[in-house]
A = this chain, B = another copy of it.
Amino acid sequence: MDVRTLCLGVLSFGDSSGYGLRRSIKDWFGHFGQASLGAIYPALAKLSAAGEIETIDHVNAALEKRVFRITDSGRAKLRDHLSSLSGQEMVRSPFLAGLFFAHLMEMDDVHRLVDERVAELRGEQRRLRSLPMAEMTEGQRFTIRYALATTAAGIAFMEREGRAIITAIGRERDSH
């Protein structure tokens, strides 16, 4: 799902500003997609030009704020994208990349990487648990349970082996 579709996805639940979209994408979609502001605003411009979203007039002189609403054409486009999704997952993990090349790194950096990963996992767990599951559809709850299951497995693994790998890498280094 690219940024354009992610935006349509959020807007299918209700109107939002560009800035609000960033928050929503981070908070609700964090476990399967992400988008930065610099990608969102151009995406919004393209969606507007294509008539898939429209700007809602809105009374606020001081704070410059544009609110967007998805159109019927936009809803159709979203459905369109959904029907062509695949089951693949793309993971980019600087953490695992670092560990894979730990033999070329400073021990301090390896240590930091492990600590950061644990913090990230716990943060993700917190985010997922704070989502209002009671108000969600079956599909939405499913994605959260799935993400919680893999996150929990990551945390359990790190708790079991996170400390040990540091000393193991150190030992391996000494023996060469």
Contact = CB atoms under 8 A, between A and B. Distances in A.
Contact of A32 (B97, B102, B149): B97
Contacts of A158: 146
A55 B31 CA distance: 41
A12 interface: yes
A33 B143 contact: no
Contact of A153 (B33, B86, B140, B152): B152
Contacts of A61: none
Interface residues of A, number: 70
Interface of A: 1, 5, 9, 12, 29, 31-34, 75, 78-79, 82-83, 85-106, 109-110, 112-120, 137-140, 142-143, 145-147, 149-150, 152-154, 156-158, 161, 165, 168-169, 171-172
15 contacts: A9-B97, A32-B91, A32-B94, A32-B97, A78-B101, A78-B104, A87-B94, A87-B115, A87-B119, A91-B91, A96-B146, A99-B146, A137-B172, A138-B165, A145-B157
